[in-house]
Structure 1
Amino acid sequence: MRSLPARLLSVRPGGLRTILPAAVALALCTAGALAQEVQRTGCVPPGIWADGTGAAVEPVPLLRRIADSPVVLLGEQHDRPDHHRWQLHTLAGLHALNPDVAVGLEMLPRRLQPVLDRWVAGDLTEEEFLQQTDWRTVWGFDPQFYLPILQFARLHRLPVVALNVERSLISRTARNGWSAVPEAEREGVGTPAAPSADYRARLREALAAHDRSESQADPASSAGDPSTRFIEAQTVWDRAMAEKIAETRRVTGRLVVGILGEGHAAHRDGIPHQLADLGVADSVVLLPWDADRDCGELDGRIADAVFGLGVEPRENAPPPPKLGVQLGPAPDGVAVSTVSDGSVAAAAGIRAGDRILNAAGSSLRAPADLVAIIRRQAPGTWLPLTIRRDGAEQELVAKFPVQAR
């Protein structure tokens, strides 16, 4: 599936009625015109589908081919609204060609499947759904990003499947290793396939960016090495979702469309690698491609196809409060990889390499936890933080300006 042609539907937000006409209109574009547009604007122009090398291609053949695939993984960066709009329109386009679709969500753990079933059946309001899933705690990112996808699934009575496991299982693996988790407490997750060398290297690089002291870890070291446990935790996480996807495909026979973080799918590592080990070798990976993204990442393997996005317009509403950091997962708390100059975080004394363990009295287990707390922060208020730096814990206070920035 490396050479799938790729370009999908260009639809205005909320314009589901235009999906099929848009596909027909786009299909009339010539390959020469597309090539000229790519050459003129660079990497992947907005509204254009391209293959994994950045070469523009036609949408209709892509849709027709992947609509017959067993699994399509739609990657996202969780806090980017346009990524979720793209996911919705891609899902709708696939559904137009193959109505036998099931939607898999990274956002919820398996124990909440009964709530998803009640949602699809029309038995819950949005407010009831968010309450019964404890969305703000379990996931944390803005539910308005995901509710249109959930509404689409309910409208068409598509099964929606909770792919994830409890965060505590992944955190426990990161702390102690998978072998230390008793089989009865593994939520049914089996033994993962060994990750590729490239995936290990990327995960080690990610962890090293968070904590330079671990960047010197020996790749052949024992399970006591934090980076080894971190890789093992990520692999277990990928395996858990892959198993649920494979089970849904096997039981329902439907095309399973996964809504999940890009890191679980890019380069066909993570979930696609585990799916192949489970006998689903021909999954498809599709990714949104932001206007400011490095074209050098288009190495031919990052995805089967990418869709160019423009710069997101500013909303009239005041922007939400921001700490001004780039965050990543860590065996404990959340890791700070970069701190923006002049940001709230910089003023509070937060540094790259710190781990934020606690915010406003709540322990942090994933970046989404901190994002959710910050989004509830009113302008002009203070947010107490507990960080770990050089092995020692410190208390800091982030002071948000009267006008959020």
Structure 2
Amino acid sequence: MRLAALLLSAAAVLAAPAALAQTAAAPPPLPPAAPWASPLAQDHPLVGSFWSTATGERLTPAQVVDRALDSRVVIVGERHDNPDHHALQAWLAEALVVGGRRPAVVYEMMETDDQPAIDAWRAAGPADAAGLGDALDWAKTGWPDWPLYAPMAGTALAHGLPILAGNLPQDTVRRLAREGLPALEAGLAADLALATEDAPVVRDGLADDVRRGHCDLMPEAMLAPMALVQRARDAMMARVVSRGLADPAADTALLITGNGHAREDRGVPLRLAALGIPPEQVLTVAPLEVEDGVVDPAAYVTGREGAAAAAFDIVWFSPRVDDVDHCAALRERMKNKKK
């Protein structure tokens, strides 16, 4: 039924007057497909496919769209520098709108103190989302180039949907790492539902994420403070998502974030539950890069990707950006620095 509604919506768009067609987008191709931007393993048999981690079954793009349309919150992860992952995000953003939903688009990559600049840019009546990067001084943020993130903002702009900055400001993050929760302004820890301590399995998992994310090179004493930072970032994104749901211009929320933040067991979904948005209302979709010779989707859930893959509702397989061992490169830089 949802697919039929999607097709009817697409037909209505195509039949609309020219003035309406300028603001209502045609449905995106199903599924996201070649030509792939990432160069490695493009011919891998899993590339371009969706899989349910709960059932181990392959899903059609239409089934993925149906599940997204039936969710209050859709969280789509990414490897930040993989362009194909951003294409998936853009596809889902457009599919939600074509299916009749009005998502508030929330970005991990934008900090909450960026919101006035976002609002000022919109108030100026931009024709498209290209200039938002300049308004946010994106080139200095350290994130991949703005054109990778612009399509989702473009969908929001074209349909009058909220664009929300979801992350903690960097100065808050630094204070939090040094001073802990007391560094947060009055009431913020409670507002983010951070006052209650996490279960040990969640704390240990966050610490392990920090350890692995820093190639086992971070001093042990820094693991707990950095895990707190991760927890607080997830909580802030959850709070902004909940604000997006309350916006009269929206009826759902789409969060653009890294795969780590999208995890159901200790990422944003866990923080959403603390704010009263239960897991059954949240859909998590994680794009994963394929590995040479690993053609069984279950291996990505139980193998090296491990709990990371199992912690999402749906995984989508893409080619790889590179085969660089970033930890080896970091160790080499640190060794050279000590000399």
Partner of 1:163: 166
Q: Which amino acid aligns with 1:178?
A: L
CA distance in 2, matches of 1:183, 1:119: 30
CA distance in 2, matches of 1:261, 1:212: 20
Other structure's SS at 1:258 match:
strand
Question: Given that residues 129 and 151 in structure 2 are in contact (C-alpha distance below 8 angstroms), is that contact kept between their aligned partners in structure 1?
Answer: no
Other structure's SS at 2:70 match:
coil
Q: TM-score, normalised by structure 2?
A: 0.72
CA distance in 2, matches of 1:135, 1:213: 29
CA distance in 2, matches of 1:128, 1:235: 31
Q: 1:115 to 1:251 in 2, by over 3 A?
A: same
Per-residue deviation at 1:85?
A: 0.7
CA distance in 2, matches of 1:181, 1:18: 43
Question: Given that residues 113 and 161 in structure 1 are in contact (C-alpha distance below 8 angstroms), is that contact kept between their aligned partners in structure 2?
Answer: yes
Partner of 2:253: 256
Q: Deviations for 1:293-343, whole angstroms, at most 9, x for unmatched residues?
A: 86223667321111122346x9xxxxxxxxx763xxxxxxxxxxx124xxx
Q: Which amino acid aligns with 2:197?
A: A
Confirm or deny that 1:266 pairs with 2:263: yes
Question: Given that residues 108 and 163 in structure 1 are in contact (C-alpha distance below 8 angstroms), is that contact kept between their aligned partners in structure 2?
Answer: yes
Q: 1:61 to 1:86 in 2, by over 3 A?
A: closer
For 1:85-124, list aligned pairs within 5 A. 85-120=87-122, 123-124=125-126
Q: Which has the higher strand share?
A: 1
Partner of 1:376: none
- Equivalent of 2:228 in 198, 220, 232: 232
CA distance in 2, matches of 1:262, 1:123: 33
CA distance in 2, matches of 1:211, 1:107: 22
Other structure's SS at 2:57 match:
coil
Partner of 1:69: 71
CA distance in 2, matches of 1:212, 1:268: 22
For 1:3-402, list aligned pairs within 5 A. 17=26, 19=28, 22=30, 45-52=46-53, 54-120=56-122, 123-124=125-126, 128-183=131-186, 190-192=192-194, 193-209=196-212, 210=214, 225-252=221-248, 254-281=251-278, 282-292=281-291, 295=300, 296=303, 297=305, 301-311=310-320, 326=326, 338-340=327-329, 350-351=333-334
CA distance in 1, matches of 2:264, 2:101: 28
Partner of 2:21: none
Question: Given that residues 265 and 311 in structure 2 are in contact (C-alpha distance below 8 angstroms), is that contact kept between their aligned partners in structure 1?
Answer: yes
Question: Given that residues 119 and 154 in structure 1 are in contact (C-alpha distance below 8 angstroms), is that contact kept between their aligned partners in structure 2?
Answer: no
How well do the aligned residues superpose, as a CA RMSD in angstroms? Answer: 3.4
Q: Which amino acid aligns with 1:19?
A: P
CA distance in 1, matches of 2:184, 2:64: 42
Other structure's SS at 1:247 match:
helix
Q: Deviations for 1:186-214, whole angstroms, at most 9, x for unmatched residues?
A: 59953425334443333322443437586
Q: Which has the higher helix share?
A: 2
Question: Given that residues 104 and 163 in structure 1 are in contact (C-alpha distance below 8 angstroms), is that contact kept between their aligned partners in structure 2?
Answer: yes
Question: Given that residues 129 and 154 in structure 2 are in contact (C-alpha distance below 8 angstroms), is that contact kept between their aligned partners in structure 1?
Answer: no
CA distance in 2, matches of 1:66, 1:350: 43
Q: 1:122 to 1:173 in 2, by over 3 A?
A: same
Q: Which amino acid aligns with 2:289?
A: D
Per-residue deviation at 1:265?
A: 1.2
CA distance in 1, matches of 2:180, 2:154: 38
CA distance in 2, matches of 1:211, 1:260: 21
Between Structure 1 and Structure 2, whose CA radius of gyration is higher?
A: 1
Q: Which amino acid aligns with 2:178?
A: R
Per-residue deviation at 1:73?
A: 0.4
Q: 1:269 to 1:136 in 2, by over 3 A?
A: same
Alignment coverage as a number of residue pairs = 287
Using CA pairs below 8 Å that are at least 6 residues apart, which structure has the higher relative contact order? 2
Q: Runs of 4+ in structure 1 displaced over 6 angstroms? A: none
Q: Which amino acid aligns with 2:156?
A: A
CA distance in 2, matches of 1:311, 1:325: 13
Q: 1:303 to 1:208 in 2, by over 3 A?
A: closer
CA distance in 2, matches of 1:62, 1:131: 33
Per-residue deviation at 1:128?
A: 4.6
Q: TM-score, normalised by structure 1?
A: 0.62
Q: Deviations for 1:35-93, whole angstroms, at most 9, x for unmatched residues?
A: xxxxxx76xx1222111154212333332233131111011111111110111011111
Question: Given that residues 68 and 255 in structure 1 are in contact (C-alpha distance below 8 angstroms), is that contact kept between their aligned partners in structure 2?
Answer: no
Q: 1:200 to 1:251 in 2, by over 3 A?
A: same
Gap runs ≥5 in structure 2: 1-24, 32-43
CA distance in 1, matches of 2:142, 2:245: 25
Per-residue deviation at 1:261?
A: 1.2
CA distance in 1, matches of 2:325, 2:71: 38
CA distance in 1, matches of 2:137, 2:108: 15
Gap runs ≥5 in structure 1: 1-15, 24-40, 218-224, 315-323, 327-337, 355-386, 395-405
